Every structure is written in structure tokens, then in C-alpha cells.
């Protein structure tokens, strides 16, 4: 059985510490995610509307976006750093190693940019939510227009008039 020693210094030592710290943080983030989405809430209610409402909430939306952003970026960095360490054992030639590292880190940057863009630039699609609610027979919410329109649609009329936007699920 081979002994795994801590690297002497430089980038490899930083990568070694990163793997241990990011692994611990990822376990905590993943356990929190599993608890919130699979234990605290019914799995059948976790859908686009659940995530859209959570991310768009004015009080906690920033927290949840940062939670998900941290989890996805740490997972990508942690996974690709592990892959880099494995490939370094098999790719011996310097030219090939440079090529593999270039492809690897290009993939990391690309995936982190896509994930960060999706999380940070997300906007709640009220029209889609209205279609889904109307299909289920729920309350349909429209965006407030310049005339001050609030809730609209046949579903709200069947519930006895206008309801406040806060009362929608």
C-alpha cells in the first residue's frame, strides 16, 4: 500500500489543502441542500416554482443564490482538481501534460461561467408560472403594469375577487 504524503510546497500543497477544505465545505453544503429540499420540503413540491420563489425572495434570495453558487463552483473546482491529480500520474510527457491541463482548466472556467451566469442572472418567469397555475386551476399572478394591475385571470375571479400577491403560493 502506497503512502500519501503532504506535498512539500508550492501549487501542489495549496491544491492538497484545497481538496481537504473544499471537500468538508461541500459535505456541509450538500447535507444542507439534501435536508432543505428532501426532508424539510416534500420532494414533489421542489420544482421550478420552488427555486424561482426561493431565489426571487427579497429577504433570503441572495443567501440561497450564494449557497447554490458556492456549491456548484466548489464542486466543479474540487472535481476537476481531483481529475487533474489523477491525470498527472498517467500523462508523463510535458507537451501532453500542458495540453491536458489547458483543456482541463478551460473546461473548469467554461462550466463555472455557465453555472454562475445561470444562478446570478436568473429572473423569475411569471408568464410560465401563470400557465402552470392556470393548468392546475390556481391563482394567476400578473406583473404590475403602469395602471396598477395586480392579479388577473379567470382563476382569481373564481376565488371571490382579487387576492393579494403575498397570498399566492
Predicted confidence at residue 7, as pLDDT, reads: 76
Distance CA 3, CA 43 (A): 43
Structural domain spans, the chain? 11-120, 126-164
pLDDT band at 4 (very low <50, low <70, confident <90, very high): low
Distance CA 122, CA 45 (A): 20
Q: Can you tell me which residue has the cell 424561482? A: 52
Predicted confidence at residue 151, as pLDDT, reads: 43
Count, residues in the chain? 169
In this structure, of 44-53, 60-69, 124-133, 145-154, the range with the lowest mean pLDDT score is 145-154
Question: 1.20.1300.10, 1.10.390.10, 1.20.120.140, 1.20.1260.10: which CATH number matches 11-120?
Answer: 1.20.1300.10
Amino acid at each position: 500500500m502506497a503512502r500519501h504524503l503532504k506535498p512539500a510546497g508550492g501549487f501542489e500543497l495549496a491544491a492538497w489543502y484545497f481538496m481537504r477544505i473544499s471537500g468538508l465545505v461541500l459535505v456541509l453544503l450538500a447535507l444542507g441542500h439534501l435536508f432543505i429540499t428532501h426532508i424539510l420540503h416534500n420532494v414533489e413540491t421542489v420544482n421550478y416554482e420552488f427555486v424561482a420563489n426561493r431565489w426571487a425572495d427579497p429577504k433570503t434570495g441572495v443567501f440561497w443564490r450564494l449557497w447554490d453558487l458556492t456549491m456548484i463552483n466548489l464542486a466543479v473546482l474540487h472535481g476537476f482538481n481531483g481529475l487533474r491529480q489523477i491525470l498527472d500520474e498517467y500523462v508523463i510527457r510535458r507537451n501532453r501534460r500542458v495540453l491536458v491541463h489547458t483543456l482541463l482548466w478551460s473546461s473548469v472556467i467554461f462550466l463555472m461561467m455557465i453555472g454562475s451566469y445561470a444562478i446570478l442572472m436568473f429572473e423569475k418567469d411569471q408568464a410560465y408560472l401563470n400557465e402552470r397555475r392556470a393548468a392546475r386551476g390556481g391563482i394567476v399572478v400578473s406583473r404590475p403594469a403602469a395602471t396598477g394591475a395586480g392579479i388577473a385571470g379567470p382563476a382569481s375571479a373564481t376565488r371571490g375577487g382579487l387576492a393579494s400577491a403575498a397570498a399566492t403560493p
